[in-house]
Amino acid sequence: MTSKPIEILFKHVDGLDIYMDVYLSPTASAENPAPILLWWHGGGLLQGTRKGAPPHFLSAPVKHNLTFVAADYRLAPQFRLPTILSDCADAMKFLHTKEFQAATEGRADASRVILSGSSAGAGLPKPPTVQGNAAIYPITDLEDPFWKVPQRPVPYLDRMIAKEEVQPFIDPADSGSRVSFAALDSPRSMFYHYMLQEAILADLLLSGTNIPANSFSVAPFLRALTSTIVPTYIVHGDADTKVHVRQSRDVVEALKELNGRVKIDYEYEEIPGVDHLFDFNPECEMEKMYGFIEGVFR
């Protein structure tokens, strides 16, 4: 059972409307608003849409008394990482506006927010103003060899992807490809696989920005910290062919080191034998993640 989303325009920039979908808990009220689970979709920041949320998120308002919010952002390479991050920051800020409160009739509690994301969406910003972070098979390090070694072809396809298949999406100057979402069944849905085949993720996200790829390496950032972080949950399948499980393992090792200096609350779940997008299985209820979220809001 899922609730019907409220579609809200939270940003207009570069001629694009950028939306979020809000799924309200049926038991929430203005007197007793439900906490917010804000989620960003995956797709390498190259493709995807807020409409592509796994089933467990869509049932979370009813099953877990959460306000589920799925927000779009502009896609690379027509927009680079600094721009994409600004969309995410603006989505978080919008939760605290009168417009958001009016649209949700005060039934969503913006003082209690957990951020989540899938794949590339799990690597987007985690400010200290939120109460927690739930990362699902996250991309955490653009410097990892997984992103630098071409896979021709990628192991889950039996053919090479011709560059013509991803034209004009690969052209950063193509005005027709300047979008804030892409339908899951659109031609752009081959873009991520082409990126892996050619090992060009960092170039697509950062070319021309003068920002080094290691600026987005999570594990070294954690190792340098001297302060605590918000409670964090990470889950990854050890048979992931699209985001290597090493991306999560390296972060967990850094969390262990950080926990030796400051007290932090984190959980890591590594699931044997499952690939990327495992939680799109309708039978996957993500019990440990929602148990973690319940504990944060308790």
Q: Tell me how far apart the alpha carbons of residues 269 and 156 are, in angstroms, rounded to a whole number.
A: 24
Confidence (pLDDT) at 73: 98
For 39, the token pair is: 């989620």
* SS3 category, 70: strand
Q: What is the DSSP string of 265-279?
A: -EEEEEETT--TTGG
Confidence (pLDDT) at 182: 98
Q: Tell me how far apart the alpha carbons of residues 70 and 20 are, in angstroms, rounded to a whole number.
A: 6
Sequence-separated (6 or more) residues with CB below 8 Å from residue 143: 202, 213, 214, 217
Sequence-separated (6 or more) residues with CB below 8 Å from residue 165: 187, 190, 194
* Predicted TM-score (pTM) of this structure: 0.97
Confidence (pLDDT) at 126: 64
Can you name the CATH fold of 6-297?
A: Rossmann fold (3.40.50)
With a cut of 70, list the residues of the chain below it in pLDDT.
1-2, 124-128
Confidence (pLDDT) at 159: 96
According to DSSP, the residues that pair with 115 across neighbouring strands are 38, 133
* SS3 category, 247: helix
Q: What are the pLDDT digits (tens) for 66-92? A: 999 999 999 999 999 989 999 999 999
Q: Give, for 34, the enclosing helix (H) or strand (E).
A: strand 34-40
Confidence (pLDDT) at 111: 96
Confidence (pLDDT) at 2: 66
Question: Exposure string (b/e) for 243-253, b if CB count within 10 Å is 16 or more?
Answer: bbbebbbbbbe
- Longest CA pairwise span in the chain (Å): 56
Confidence (pLDDT) at 101: 98
Q: Tell me how far apart the alpha carbons of residues 135 and 137 are, in angstroms, rounded to a whole number.
A: 6
Confidence (pLDDT) at 1: 59
